[in-house]
Structure 1
Amino acid sequence: MPSSGSMGIDSQYCRAGWGLVLALMAMLAALGWAGSAAAATHEIGGRVPCHAVSSEVAPLERVPARYTCGGEPAGYQQGSLWLHVDLHGNPQARSEPAVLVHNSRFDRLEVCFAFADGAIVRQQVRSGDFGSHWRAGAQIAFSAPRHGAPVTGVTLRFDRLASANMLRIRLAGPDAEEEQSTVLAAAIGSALMLLLVGATFNASLSIVARRQFSAWQAGWAAVMLLWGACWSQLLLLVLPAMAGAPSAQVCTGLACLATMLATMSAVTALQKHHLNPLLRKSTLYLGWTVGAMGVPLSVVRSGPIDLFANLLGFLTSALLLAVAACLIQAWRRGSGEARTFAAAWAVPMAVLGFSGFVDTDQWLWGGGSQLLVLFAAAWQTLWLSISASRSYALLRMQRDVARRAEAQAHELARRDPLTGLRNRRGFFEVASASLEPGTGVPVALLLIDVDFFKAINDTHGHDAGDDALVTIARRLARWEGERCAAARIGGEEFAMILSGLHGFALARFAESVRSEIAACDHGEALGRVTVSVGVAEAGAGDVMSALYRRADAALYAAKRQGRDRVVMGDAADASSGRRVSGA
């Protein structure tokens, strides 16, 4: 068995190892995001397209005089950009290929299919109206119609395109395009459902448990849900006017807002004493800065948009490193929340870093890095929701244990430790409740005193006296129920509060109590132990103190009359009492 010292060293190595892993993931994500900020996919069907540019939006039927097959296009943001790819010899061009364009910021997109027999077919979409061309996964599909001749070339024309570097275009067969779109829609729907469940659960938890972390997490999951619905274009099912540039712009703002909320969720969940104040403030300020940048970036349509994207990538990279530093520092200082968030953030960081170093734009049938991020977000909200549930369940268990302990202590404070019956305090609480007006049920009090108890203690010892009291208590406990409560209210004095009996029935019950106690077996040494019983019936408006005085007077009357008997008290005159029975 390892010693406690070795276990502490192992724990330190574990924290250091996980901290190193998290730091490497953060650096990987930062470098990957920064490196991918200006990445572009220029190949269509395995070939690099040629381009032509017009500084102004060209007439619809205009065809460029020539194409440039090298370099990067420029000067197209207020005009038109043509991309042309020659498909001679491409096997996909023989069977009605489909061109899939990832949604971006443009006013109009036209796709021309050129056939070997000279025929040309044009298809187009506009911002705000994609018709039936939109597909799940932020893609716009243009399918070549059935024709007797193969497709020899495809030309894409973009009017007022924000950035050519953000274009992602691919070629697919007609059957493959339908299958891929179906699978993408199902996968995206599953991820969005997980985000919806996470947002709803955390919102409920923030209200019930009043936890700030859950509120931030619910906001983040809700924003990611909106981002996923907007990016995937599933939002077009209810808002078709959001097609194109509007949804692309909204996605940018939502992505920045989600980044800010994720930062707030992670940092505010960590205790302040686990973090360096400067590191904590710097991370929060970076998160707010990234969130604020989403406002201008969501409305810009021209200008140095690639520069803005690089700046946002740099700030986001710095933010990832800052969050990783917070988690590592809090973890090393013993924060359980840091361990939870490290596991939750590790996957998104790894995804961002991986997609930055590996070209994932054509992965998952065009879903690319955004789809990976969506799944990573679903993982993150699921993990944090489960962790929050476990923490909340643990808190509830601890609260329930504390409440049970409190209730047990409350009950023990009202119980006699020797006999287990109620003590004087507990009995008076129950008896007073029985006397509350409006019940309409007769109530009676029985005071029971052991006869010659001092002689038992003096002759046989206090242990024998205690045994006699316990035996009597066990017999009284048999009568306890909804209408009867018994207690030991003094040294050798017991009491019973009874409801539902009065007059002759009450007298018979009191006599049965006396006789059955007298019949208890106390062993040959003690022999027969008897009791005297005083009974008082509650009158209208009676309180416990008055009822007790009458029962006590009846008990003393039983003692004066020779003990081992029951005396009924008179509600009209407490000084008199009538004997019911006796030895």
Structure 2
Amino acid sequence: MKPFYKDWVVWVVVGLAVTTFFIAAEIELFEAVYQYTRAHEDWQLDEYFSLAFILPVVLPLLMYRANRRLRAVITEKEEAEAHATHLALHDVLTGLGNRRKFTQHMDAKLKREPSPKAALILVDLDGFKAVNDKHGHRVGDGLLQVIAARINLLTDDRGLCVRLGGDEFAVVMDAVNPKTLRQEAEVLAEAICETVRDKVSLRELPGVPLRVTASVGVAFLPPSTDPSDLLREADRAMYKAKQAGKNRWHMAALPTAGPVARAS
């Protein structure tokens, strides 16, 4: 919240008070009030007139101060609620969306998509457990953060990238052109495999490059499919990539095409 002296309301009140003072001085209002109170001393009007001059300035400032405090409380509450909402929908380690965010996104998308216009790309890291067991959770967490940032960068503004849990990620990719959805998904799946297998250097482990690969499964959004069904389909495709040797992607069928596997 900005300081009170930078708020226009304060200066309006001060300006009105100063203007009133000079107008009163110009028409000799204070002199007239003084003479009137002297002529009626037994009425003790001095205090009442003094109060009448002070209240128009003091009351607005007091009300303004109370309003600022109320706004500060409301702002703090809104920020706390926004932070709580963010935590509920995002993974603390990587900053990506979490499973709950994924489910909400997919529920909304599946309700409005009349035909396949997006792909679900499931990514599971190969060899991560070995790195985590050998070098510890701190190094493992750092590796996950780097991989998450790389995948998210590839996703760009074309969809949602989330961490489903552990070393498993998902990308919901919106098609630039529904007719080229399959080709677009192939390009992104290949790019994910490439970026994951690039070595990772962490300051927690200087001079020791870390390498993992990715098994990637791709499924498409047909009508009348709920998120859990689609996730299972992508999961089956991903396991076929693992069975074929890892470090590759496997694509589930579009309505008019068969499955495709490709080594990366």
* TM-score, normalising length: structure 1: 0.35
Distance 2:66 2:107 in 1: 42
Change (3 A) 1:447 1:519: same
TM-aligned CA deviation for residue 537 of structure 1: 1.2
Q: Distance in 1 between matches of 2:115 and 2:222?
A: 11
Find the partner of 2:52 among 377, 396, 404. 377
Quickly say closer, same or farther: Cα 1:413–1:484, change in 2 above 3 A: same
Match of 2:27 in 1: 183
Q: Does 1:578 align with 2:255?
A: no
In the TM superposition, residue 485 of structure 1 has moved relative to its aligned partner by: 1.8
1:429 and 2:104 are equivalent in the alignment: yes
Identify which of 521, 532, 537 aligns with 2:200.
Answer: 521
1:432 to 1:375, Cα distance in 2 relative to 1, 3 A: farther
Deviation string 1:294-316 (CA, Å, 9 cap, x unpaired) is: xxxxxxxxxxxxxxxxxxxxxxx
Query: Are 2:39 and 1:359 aligned?
Result: yes
Matched position secondary structure for 1:532: strand
Number of the residue aligned with 2:232: 549
**Partner SS for 2:216:** strand
Q: For 1:359, give the aligned amino acid.
A: A
**Structure 1 residue 566 corresponds to structure 2 residue 241:** no
Instruction: Report what 1:536 is aligned to.
Output: 219
Please tell me whether the aligned partners of residues 126 and 213 of structure 2 are also in contact (alpha carbons under 8 angstroms). yes
Is the 8 Å Cα contact of residues 91 and 97 (structure 2) preserved in structure 1? Answer: yes
Tell me, in whole angstroms, the C-alpha distance in 2 between the residues paired with 1:407 and 1:400: 10
Q: Give percent identity, aligned residues only.
A: 32
| C-alpha distance in structure 1 between counterparts of 2:201 and 2:109, whole Å | 33
- Asked if the contact 2:217–2:235 (Cα under 8 Å) also holds between the matched residues in 1, the reply is yes
Q: How many pairs align?
A: 225
Counterpart of 1:477 (choices 134, 142, 152) is 152
**1:469 touches 1:492 (CA, 8 Å); kept in 2?**
yes
* 549-558 or 439-448, larger mean C-alpha shift: 439-448
SS in 2 for 1:496: strand
- C-alpha spacing 1:385/1:407, structure 2 compared with 1 (3 Å): same
CA offset digits 1:60-109 (Å, max 9, x no partner): xxxxxxxxxxxxxxxxxxxxxxxxxxxxxxxxxxxxxxxxxxxxxxxxxx
| Cα distance in 2, alignment partners of residues 385 and 439 from structure 1 | 58
Aligned to 1:478, what secondary structure does the other structure show? helix
Contact 2:193 2:248 (8 Å CA) reproduced: yes
C-alpha distance after superposition, 1:319-351 (max 9, x if no partner): xxxxxxxxxxxxxxxxxxxxxxxxxxxxxxxx9
CA–CA distance in structure 1, aligned partners of residues 72 and 94 of structure 2: 32
Paired residue secondary structure (1:509): helix
Contact 1:447–1:535 (CA<8 Å) still a contact in 2? Answer: yes
Amino acid in structure 1 at the alignment position of 2:27: V
Corresponding letter in the other structure for 2:245:
G
Pair 1:554–1:517, CA change in 2 (3 A): same
Taking a change above 3 Å as real, the CA distance of residues 441 and 408 of structure 1, as seen in their structure-2 partners, is farther
2:120 match = 445
| Separation (CA, whole Å) in 2 of partners of 1:458 and 1:482 | 35
CA distance in 1, matches of 2:244, 2:116: 31
5+ residue gaps, structure 2? 1-25
Per chain length, whose mean CA-contact separation is higher, i.e. which structure has more relative contact order (CA < 8 Å, sep 6+)? 2
Distance in 1 (alpha carbons) for counterparts of 2:129 and 2:65: 59
Q: 1:505 matched to which residue of 2?
A: 184
- Answering whether residue 66 of structure 2 is matched by residue 394 of structure 1, we say no
Q: Does 1:462 align with 2:137?
A: yes
CA–CA distance in structure 2, aligned partners of residues 375 and 570 of structure 1? 86
Asked whether the equivalents of residues 445 and 551 of structure 1 are also in contact (C-alpha less than 8 Å), the reply is: yes
1:173-209 deviations in Å (ceiling 9; x for gaps): xxxxxxxxx938xx7xxxxxxxxxxxxxxxxxxxxxx
Partner SS state of residue 222, structure 2: coil
Code of the residue aligned with 1:555 in structure 2: it is M
As a proportion of its length, which structure holds more helix?
Answer: 2
Report if the CA contact (8 A) 2:237-2:250 is conserved. yes
Distance 1:467 1:552, change over 3 A: same
Q: 1:509: how far off?
A: 1.5
Question: For 2:245, what is the secondary structure of its paired residue?
Answer: coil
**Structure 1 residue 565: Cα displacement:** 0.6
- Output the CA distance in 2 between the equivalents of 1:441 and 1:393: 51
Query: For residues 563 and 428 of structure 1, what CA distance do their matches in structure 2 show?
Result: 27
SS in 2 for 1:436: helix
| SS of match in other structure, 2:89 | coil
* Cα distance in 1 between the residues matched to 2:94 and 2:260: 31
Asked if the contact 1:423/1:489 (under 8 Å) is kept, the reply is: yes
Q: Is the 8 A contact 1:435 1:443 kept in 2?
A: no
**Aligned partner of residue 489 in structure 1, secondary structure:** strand
Q: TM-score, normalised by structure 2?
A: 0.72
Mapped to 2, the partners of 1:547 and 1:398 lie a distance apart of 44
Please identify, of 469-478 and 479-488, the stretch whose mean Cα deviation from structure 2 is larger: 479-488
Compared CA separation, residues 438 and 385, structure 1 to 2 (3 A) = farther
Secondary structure at the aligned position of 2:195 is classed as: helix
Contact 1:521 1:528 survives alignment (8 Å): yes
Could you tell me how far 1:458 is from its partner in structure 2? 3.2
8 Å contact 1:443–1:538 — kept in the other structure?
yes
CA distance, structure 2, for counterparts of residue 511 and residue 418 of structure 1: 25
Q: State how far apart, in whole Å, the 1-side matches of 2:157 and 2:111 are.
A: 15
Residue 480 to residue 375, structure 1, CA distance change in 2 (3 Å)? farther
Q: Quick check: which has more Rg, 1 or 2?
A: 1
Indicate conservation of the 8 Å contact 1:443/1:497, yes or no.
yes
Are 2:162 and 1:487 equivalent residues in the alignment? yes
Amino acid corresponding to residue 577 of structure 1 in structure 2: P
- What SS is found at the alignment partner of 2:217? strand
What runs of 5+ residues in structure 1 fail to find an aligned partner? 1-181, 188-350, 362-368
| C-alpha contact 1:550 1:571 (8 A) present in aligned 2 | no
One-letter code of the match for 1:521? Answer: V
CA distance in 2 between counterparts of 1:404 and 1:556 reads 42
By how many angstroms is 1:400 displaced? 0.4
Superposition deviation, residue 566 in structure 1: 1.1
* Residue of structure 1 in register with 2:7 after alignment: none
What pairs with 1:242-391 in structure 2 (closer than 5 Å)? Answer: 355=37, 358-359=38-39, 376-377=51-52, 379-391=54-66
Amino acid at match of 2:130: A
